Structure 1
Amino acid sequence: MTELPRPLTDWFAARGWRPRRHQLEMLDAARAGADALLVAATGAGKTLAGFLPTLAELIEAPTQGLHTLYISPLKALAVDVQRNLLTPIEEMGVSIRVETRTGDTPHEKKVRQRARPPEILLTTPESLSLLLSYEDSLTMFAGLRTIVIDEVHAFATGKRGDLLALAIARLTRLAPGMRRVALSATVADPDGYRAWLAPDGDIDQVRLVQGEAGADPDIAILLPEGRVPWAGHSGVYAIPQVMAEIETHRTTIVFCNTRGLAELVFQNLWKVNELKLPIAVHHGSLSLEARRRAEQAMADGKLRALVATASLDLGVDWGDVDCVIQMGAPKGSSRLLQRIGRANHRLDESSEAVLVPGNRFEYLEARAALDAVEQGELDPDIFRPGALDVLAQHIMACACAAPFDAAAMLHEIRGALPYSALDQETFERVLNFIADGGYALRAYDKFKRLTKGQDGLWRVTKPAFVAQHRLNAGIIVEAPMLDVRFKNGRKLGKVEEAFGSSLAPGDTFFFAGLSLEVERVELTDLIVRASSKQARYVSYMGARLAITSTLADRVRVFLADRSQWARFPDDVREWLEVQARRSALPAPAQLLVETFPHEGKHHMVAYSFEGWNAHQSLGMLITRRMEAMGLKPLGFVANDYALAVYGLEKIEDPAALFSPDILEHEFVDWVQQSALLKRAFREVAIIGGLVERQHPGKKKSGRQVTFSTDLIYDVLRKYEPDHLLLKAAWADARARMTDVGRLAHLLDTAADTMLHMDLPRVSPMAVPVLIMIGRERTPQGSGEDALLIEAEGIAAEAMRLD
């Protein structure tokens, strides 16, 4: 093994530590000039392993200028890493500058960083892309030696990964000797990530370094009084027990799957916080000041609990966290393992976690996730071709930095795995789209961003387009938002415009842990004041986490394998036993469909376990087909496990509603006529640079942006239906918003696997989804008691054996 420089050796010794095997292997890979993927458990010193070669090189051969670029999926993680990296640097007494650069970095500091960069720069994919749009990026990155990508699983397979892969391909041209390093704790397909990381996808150039195994996590499922509710998905029924866990631990992170649930859980914890323990809330819609304050309080050991969303899923190293609680179902084993890893951060100690299922299906899902974690089964990583709207943004960024030759640009782009198969024709379409907007828009000068000169090089048409790009670049497109502010200007964060515009002066809502009263609604601001009144909870339209196919398959096995039932609580076991007597329990490959009358209507429930997104789409399609067949549908509700459709006529032949041709007919019509495609088009138009979110000194409201994109969408649909962005929007709508892959699998297999049970009344397994009828738009937390009473009433009917 390669020896460490003396300052590093002494630093390890002073702490009573020794370098771990995988840390030294990362150093060996660096000394050999090899790229590397490190897969190591949380608490194994993964981040230090990524930086160890950099620290060794800068100690042995100090250099001026940018040496290492660290890429994080989260701003909070970049700040946390800077804090933890500065400690060893200061204790070793070496002169190495470490700085962060994110959207929160002050403008003056950003300018200085380009002129005099630190040796180590910590940033995000979006900020790196912006850096590459400056003329001085050609010199700033010329001496770059290493790029370290932390938590690579968090973005490699999505649009942020596309942007980062393109940025790495550009950096490779600017700094040909640059090494590539990626770090992760939860990778199911190491070779897939090696290919994504490698120059030109050659995985042999990337060493796989496996970390030492850590202690098995200690995971429990919380069952207050041994009871699991029939309905709900928040786990709020267990709040007193959650508070008891907080009281008996040093520091607890309470994870919630949505921002709305985080606010709900926080308020409910405060109601039972008799000891007045310091508790805070953290999610992506809160202001930077509020998030930083909570993060610092955690780092200083001043909080007993932090209620958080995925904003803290990754890598933030707070050693005093000794318990993680997951409210509601985890939805995936990889996500659960990532969250569990936030506890302890010590390889030789078990991380303690508690799961709080919201209902009986969620209990089975929690048990499935626990088993998957114990058996080391992670959710699959699905790599797909790169998005064209992201490609358009990247090409524009490169053009802002310097004129380019098209052939050289295409060659460079193909060095990124997501775009390795990009053909000449598609590339030229993207290039022409940036140059004039496409056939239907070329008459408008505002879309002519690139011009090809007589020298054959492409360059930005005028300086205003450079400023426009830098102001509007980014891959994360939120729903239109309103800033929540006090009258004195202090900003608390953001709520979605759809929610904010539903409020009138005098209305109250919970946000940032406070009850707030609306004073007035302005164009982009919601002006509020603190209140003591009872308030409603903020609702968000953001993408909902769906159960992964891995966990869904395990839940299916639980239903069919009675030998597993002894592990379940009495009420869950009784639920399944009565279901087996009253109806049926599907085999793992079977589609159970039940039809029954209830409260004067006819119901059909399909237990397909394909996730909320696929079921929502299927509900739309089936009700359209029912309408055409004269079955008079009234509506549908869905969860991750089942779809329930109800109407005025009995469904005699469910198989006719599940035929695969529904994707060829109803699906295409529905997507094209619904707001789904317009929403997807709004996102790709913003990412592709067709529509501005901001002008210099002036921000557009969400309504203005949506109005602009809707107008362009209608023009393109009419005059250029094969426009590049319409195709990109269609691909997004199919893949992300409808989960069409799982939907297609369900429809392809339905005819051969369907088991139809025609019942005289509601079945036990139908209760959790049936209770949602009439409540699918009810804000979280409202009417909780009424919901439980109604659930018990339906359950009593379902569990009768006569």
Structure 2
Amino acid sequence: MPPAIPSLSPVDAWLAARGWDAFAFQRQVWQAIGEGRSGLLHATTGSGKTYAVWLGMLAELVRRHPPSARAAEPLRMVWLTPMRALASDTTRALAAPLRDLAPAWTIGQRTGDTPSAERARQDRRFPTVLVTTPESLSLMLTREHAREELGGVEFVVVDEWHELLGSKRGVQAQLALARLWRFNPRLVAWGLSATLGNLEGAMATLCHPGVAAGATAPVLVQGRIEKNLVIDTLIPPDPGKYSWAGHLGARMQQPVVDEIARSGTTLVFTNVRSQAEIWYQLLLEARPDWAGEIALHHGSIDKATRDWVEQGLKDGRLRAVVATSSLDLGVDFLPVERVLQVGSPKGVARMMQRAGRSGHAPGRASRLTLVPTNTMEIIEAAAAREAMLAGRVEERRSPEKPLDVLVQHLVTVALGGGFRADDLFGEVRSAWAYRELTRDEFDWAVAFCERGGRSLTAYPDYHRIVADEAGVYRVPDRQVAKRHRLGIGTIVSDAAMQVKWLSGGHIGTIEEGFIARLRPGDCFYFAGRLLEFVRVREMAAYVRKATRNKGTVPTWQGSKMALSVELGDAVQAMMQRGARGDFGEPELRAARPMLETQARLSRIPTPEALLLETFRSREGHHLYLYPFAGRHVHLGLASLLAWRLARDRPNTFSMSVNDYGFELVSADPIDLEPVTSRAVFSTDDLLHDVLASLNSTELAQRRFREIARVAGLIFSGYPGQPRSARQLQASSGLFFEVFRKYDEGNLLLGQAQQEVLSQELELTRLRATLERLLGKNLEHAPLRHPSPMSLPLMVERFREQLSTEQLSSRLDRILRDMERDDS
């Protein structure tokens, strides 16, 4: 073991030449790296995490391999980034000290955006330092001589570990790390994050392969750099007594424009792409003279346009950029002074992440201003700020042994030199997600890759691996190998269509389902332009510039972000202040008319009490409950309660949900006794009742589409020849039915149902919510009129049934009736 390194003379000299000095936490990381220890660095955004790990690793590499004036070292260090957009920024940051301390060493990128010429160069010889993504690293593991090419890797950094940790992409990274640790047991791996609640668990998940192999215990380093983080709220001029989703959205147009006008470079974040398109148009409508000074950025826009926007931000040429999570992560935009968040961030970690995009340097203040689109979001803003100050950040946890990712990995390793089952079983178990994988499950996955399970034995396309006489599994078919390499990855989205100008040129991608609803001549906003749809040809939607003034906005699949547990608790605590008459926070003063109206017509929900509201209207009998558990849990909870209430007394319910509660509506009276006695919240037979209350087969079949694609059962098509969403759905549906009928023991079917319960319905959180509700006092408030809390749930349901004009008329009538009775 090398001696401890209190200072690194080449690195210190390099820093001193720039007038910089290392922070204590950076030296702590250098010390651990010099001792050969892996770990997790958790530090404020913009505090110097990148150089904390890179300079330590570079100094150690220089010590181990003194640079030659001419020869470059082989691949020694891999930097994993969750987003291709971060690769260029990261490469520039790493290149600066590399040029001075080891000028002959090379650095490169390998992502989906890397040009073919650069890939070919790397295929001949990898650079010394490689910035890549989990998908591209897995592709490198499919190379026949992967062990020889990657066995010299001594350091791995996983940037933005929180972004990968809770997803199958994180599991893919775990498996790749386990492979690299097998190649080189002395490998040192570090994760970087600024927004994690469960630090020890996150570190254990990342470093588990090394620990399992007998490496020194990992190190958790927290960089506590004093940074001024300002979170405030753009208070609407008149929030009113009643509000619903989007109610205040367009009314905030002028206040947002005024904030941008008086600020430096500003990022305007929205939670979904359609909202980003809307706000870009709202800004241009208010200030047409800003054309060319404001821009739009989201993942569906053409890469060249996104690159132009990112460069404009770095150069300070843009006044404002409207963006989604495509600009959430570590890209360094020093000119950004201000961040506006339209709508609730729905989580404390996401708010902190976005706030860190401004003042992205040590010593500079970060400022985020929340722009509420309804009155409850005004309260959420104050709650989020309070939760952040108290350090209540959401936890991220790894999925447990997803077998579709394992099946993909088995074929990957079989391509990359082959494997023996006994050896690979131990290696896979060293990855945290598979630490409880049984040998039977592993053997099933191997047999599935080898023969396609019981139902696909007769089809050679699904005999992907074959064992030779020595028991080494390899992929013998070149076509199978090609399809596998094209399908590597765990990011699964609905089929996307190219959007192209009729005159030539590419604009971006859009979901096939949206285009399928358009007729020639229809207009829609996309990439900040009003386009007219002309035709579809070969999976491309051809458009031209529209001459009309009106258009719709594309919708992208994917559920809305749900309120986190931490933020839900903080919102209830903030509302309790209002119930006690404490309106000290500016947000509570703005929401006071709504809270006082809620108290007058009903009650204000608090952490100790569960509010039940009932209401009778022309539509029937309404029941409202407010657990503040997020829309995903409320969907499962509403379905469960409806099923349980109708089990003993037949009834038919319709429902709506939001992040705060849910509504059940029926034509016949609702028996309230099981609710008021709280029997309906029992956790007994919960799994059975949840499955009975939903079309669980349809939900599992939908989830199976993703699993089938990750596991390589269905092929998305060759470059330039993608298969349509309809074809992919038909293929996965056929597999689902075949497995159900002829291969009931197929573990991928069980995984589909498990993912429905754990991810879509959040069964664990649903059970915890029921247990919390059983411990609360229940307060029943019969309503004469919809309350400020119940009206948004009515609006959610109306939106499914009514046009925008009909909805507006219905709401106007409801509000007039309430005002008349109140006066």
User: TM-score with structure 2 length normalisation?
Assistant: 0.92
Change (3 A) 1:246 1:95: farther
2:566 to 550, 563, 573: 550
Shift of 1:670: 5.4
Shift of 1:458: 1.5
Shift of 1:153: 0.9
Distance in structure 2 (CA, Å) of the matches to 1:404 and 1:600: 64
Change (3 A) 1:265 1:633: farther
Q: Determine the structure 2 residue equivalent to 1:442.
A: 457
Distance in structure 1 (CA, Å) of the matches to 2:388 and 2:681: 34
SS in structure 1 of the partner of residue 157 of structure 2: strand
Q: Determine the structure 2 residue equivalent to 1:539.
A: 555
Distance in structure 1 (CA, Å) of the matches to 2:51 and 2:731: 47
Shift of 1:572: 1.6
Q: Determine the structure 1 residue equivalent to 2:622.
A: 603
Distance in structure 1 (CA, Å) of the matches to 2:188 and 2:100: 27
SS in structure 1 of the partner of residue 275 of structure 2: helix
**After alignment, is 716-725 or 741-750 more displaced?**
741-750
Shift of 1:635: 2.5
Task: Note if contact 2:170-2:398 (Cα within 8 Å) is conserved in structure 1.
Answer: no
Q: What letter is aligned with 2:385?
A: L
Distance in structure 2 (CA, Å) of the matches to 1:296 and 1:126: 25
> Where do residues 62-211 of structure 1 align in structure 2 (5 Å cutoff)?
62=67, 63-90=72-99, 94-200=103-209, 202=211, 205-211=217-223
> Where do residues 642-661 of structure 1 align in structure 2 (5 Å cutoff)?
642-653=661-672, 655=675, 658-660=681-683
Distance in structure 2 (CA, Å) of the matches to 1:523 and 1:590: 57
Q: Determine the structure 2 residue equivalent to 1:23.
A: 26
**After alignment, is 456-465 or 66-75 more displaced?**
456-465
Task: Note if contact 1:764-1:798 (Cα within 8 Å) is conserved in structure 2.
Answer: no
Report Cα offsets for 1:2-47 as digits up to 9, x if no partner.
33344x4444234322122222222222211111211111111111
2:760 to 737, 742, 763: 737
Report Cα offsets for 1:337-361 as digits up to 9, x if no partner.
0110000112323211100112122
Task: Note if contact 2:202-2:396 (Cα within 8 Å) is conserved in structure 1.
Answer: no
**After alignment, is 748-757 or 599-608 more displaced?**
748-757
SS in structure 2 of the partner of residue 440 of structure 1: coil
Q: What letter is aligned with 2:505?
A: R
Task: Note if contact 1:68-1:144 (Cα within 8 Å) is conserved in structure 2.
Answer: yes
> Where do residues 361-400 of structure 1 align in structure 2 (5 Å cutoff)?
361-400=376-415
Shift of 1:586: 3.3
2:6 to 2, 8, 11: 2
Shift of 1:698: 3.1
1:329 to 335, 344, 348: 344
Pair 1:253-2:267 in alignment: yes
Shift of 1:523: 4.7
SS in structure 1 of the partner of residue 455 of structure 2: helix
SS in structure 1 of the partner of residue 570 of structure 2: helix
**After alignment, is 428-437 or 377-386 more displaced?**
377-386
1:406 to 421, 426, 435: 421
Shift of 1:504: 1.1
Change (3 A) 1:755 1:480: farther
Pair 1:497-2:520 in alignment: no
Q: Determine the structure 1 residue equivalent to 2:598.
A: 579
Shift of 1:624: 5.2
Q: Determine the structure 1 residue equivalent to 2:575.
A: 559
Shift of 1:331: 0.5
Distance in structure 1 (CA, Å) of the matches to 2:812 and 2:428: 58
Shift of 1:708: 0.5
Report Cα offsets for 1:34-71 as digits up to 9, x if no partner.
11211111111111112112332455522511111000
Pair 1:231-2:244 in alignment: yes
Distance in structure 2 (CA, Å) of the matches to 1:420 and 1:682: 26
Distance in structure 1 (CA, Å) of the matches to 2:818 and 2:647: 31
Shift of 1:583: 1.9
SS in structure 1 of the partner of residue 287 of structure 2: coil
User: TM-score with structure 1 length normalisation?
Assistant: 0.94
SS in structure 1 of the partner of residue 180 of structure 2: helix
1:772 to 767, 776, 796: 796
Q: Percent identity?
A: 35
**After alignment, is 667-676 or 390-399 more displaced?**
667-676
Q: Determine the structure 2 residue equivalent to 1:462.
A: 477
**After alignment, is 590-599 or 390-399 more displaced?**
590-599
Distance in structure 2 (CA, Å) of the matches to 1:288 and 1:675: 36
Shift of 1:798: 5.3
**After alignment, is 41-50 or 219-228 more displaced?**
219-228
Unaligned runs of 5+ in 2: none
Task: Note if contact 2:382-2:574 (Cα within 8 Å) is conserved in structure 1.
Answer: no
2:709 to 683, 686, 693: 686
Shift of 1:412: 0.8
Pair 1:50-2:33 in alignment: no
SS in structure 2 of the partner of residue 161 of structure 1: helix
Distance in structure 1 (CA, Å) of the matches to 2:756 and 2:696: 12
Task: Note if contact 2:235-2:378 (Cα within 8 Å) is conserved in structure 1.
Answer: no
2:224 to 212, 221, 243: 212
2:660 to 641, 649, 655: 641
SS in structure 2 of the partner of residue 382 of structure 1: coil
**After alignment, is 558-567 or 654-663 more displaced?**
654-663
Pair 1:515-2:519 in alignment: no
Change (3 A) 1:245 1:70: same
**After alignment, is 422-431 or 269-278 more displaced?**
269-278
Q: What letter is aligned with 2:78?
A: L
SS in structure 2 of the partner of residue 165 of structure 1: helix
Q: Determine the structure 1 residue equivalent to 2:319.
A: 304
Q: Determine the structure 1 residue equivalent to 2:43.
A: 40
Q: Determine the structure 2 residue equivalent to 1:676.
A: 699
Q: Determine the structure 2 residue equivalent to 1:699.
A: 722
Report Cα offsets for 1:734-785 as digits up to 9, x if no partner.
111222222233344545544333333322321222222221488xxx94x9
Report Cα offsets for 1:469-488 as digits up to 9, x if no partner.
10111100011222211124
Distance in structure 2 (CA, Å) of the matches to 1:374 and 1:532: 50
Task: Note if contact 1:157-1:381 (Cα within 8 Å) is conserved in structure 2.
Answer: yes
Distance in structure 1 (CA, Å) of the matches to 2:447 and 2:403: 13
SS in structure 2 of the partner of residue 577 of structure 1: helix
**After alignment, is 352-361 or 517-526 more displaced?**
517-526
Distance in structure 2 (CA, Å) of the matches to 1:626 and 1:328: 35
Shift of 1:519: 0.5
Distance in structure 2 (CA, Å) of the matches to 1:106 and 1:436: 36
Task: Note if contact 2:704-2:732 (Cα within 8 Å) is conserved in structure 1.
Answer: yes
Distance in structure 1 (CA, Å) of the matches to 2:817 and 2:381: 26
Q: What letter is aligned with 2:30?
A: L
Shift of 1:280: 1.0
Task: Note if contact 1:694-1:700 (Cα within 8 Å) is conserved in structure 2.
Answer: yes
Distance in structure 1 (CA, Å) of the matches to 2:17 and 2:455: 68
Q: Determine the structure 1 residue equivalent to 2:636.
A: 617
Q: What letter is aligned with 1:266?
A: Y
Shift of 1:417: 1.1
Q: What letter is aligned with 1:649?
A: D
Distance in structure 2 (CA, Å) of the matches to 1:354 and 1:501: 38
Q: What letter is aligned with 1:190?
A: L
Task: Note if contact 1:125-1:163 (Cα within 8 Å) is conserved in structure 2.
Answer: yes
Q: What letter is aligned with 1:460?
A: V
Q: Determine the structure 2 residue equivalent to 1:478.
A: 493
Q: Determine the structure 1 residue equivalent to 2:731.
A: 708
Task: Note if contact 2:145-2:417 (Cα within 8 Å) is conserved in structure 1.
Answer: no
Task: Note if contact 1:281-1:294 (Cα within 8 Å) is conserved in structure 2.
Answer: yes
Report Cα offsets for 1:367-421 as digits up to 9, x if no partner.
1111112222211233442311111111110001112110000011111111112
SS in structure 2 of the partner of residue 205 of structure 1: coil
